[in-house]
Chain A
Amino acid sequence: MARGDHLVISSGDAVQPFNYAVGLHGSKFFHELKENRRIVGIKCPACGKVYTPPRRVCGDCFVENKEWLEVGPQGVIDTFTIVRYAFIDPETGKQKPVPYGYGFIRFDGADTRFQHFVELNEARPIKIGARVEPVFAEERKGTIRDILYFRILD
């Protein structure tokens, strides 16, 4: 049989929409972000690690995090990459615009890293150790997109 005889069936535009629960801790984070342009983290009562994004459990200590702290809004790039390849964004079903700066940002006062877009700017090149601050959206809805991207300060 010739190769051309093999058929392929497409699933078409099939999508499976989801409504993901953010949980108590993420909800507080997004409320603070939306209403007060504040970044918050949560501290483990056992090891003292400050988590941003905040979550209920410290994986190291297996205890419940309780103490809320304000962190940032400035921080430092712990590592990064510049994404240059084309791929389909599962959030939109369309090709993601590239290139973009993808940073692991440690807010001042936090111990874990927050992932977000970092500006690509020839005057202030993206690098490990660079200081950054969030650029907030004017209209905020309580999602990760309430931060547009991080601006490099030095």
Chain B
Amino acid sequence: MTVNLKRSSPGGAQEPGRRSMLGLLTGAGLAGSGLLGVISNLVFIKPRATYGQPQRFTIGKPDDFPTGSRVALQAQKICVVREGDKLAAVSTVCTHLGCTVGLSETGFACPCHGSRFDHDGVVTGGPAPKPLPWYKVTLAPNGEIEVDKDTEVPSGSYLSL
């Protein structure tokens, strides 16, 4: 559209090749600025930081979780599962309406609407539509376990210590 505007304006004694070249350059410049403007606005829409607790955090040394234990961490809303040399973190947020599920003999049980999950977080009963997600677990350089709730991993993927 800018290019058209330029062409309709009175030209003077310049050659058409140079005129259209300048018109193209003007158009490219404006289009570039516009593009940058659009990108900045799109990037701006997504916040870089939120005010909640961080999604990646450390939960202590592997020794804090003895073999065969399942420890639910209330504040972080995860359950740390340790089996031998393997360790994993399973979400304890019910996939139905977001209640915090409790540990039970057979896995997890939601106190709100009675959803049941097995040890791997697979739904065994109740209204929950999806299995409990597993989160990525790594060993931080200072020797502590780091859980990244931003990254889900397929159920059954453990961190080998």
Pair from one complex: no
Q: Which residues of B are at the interface with A, using a C-beta cutoff of 8 A?
A: none
Which residues from chain A sit less than 8 Å from chain B, CB to CB? Answer: none
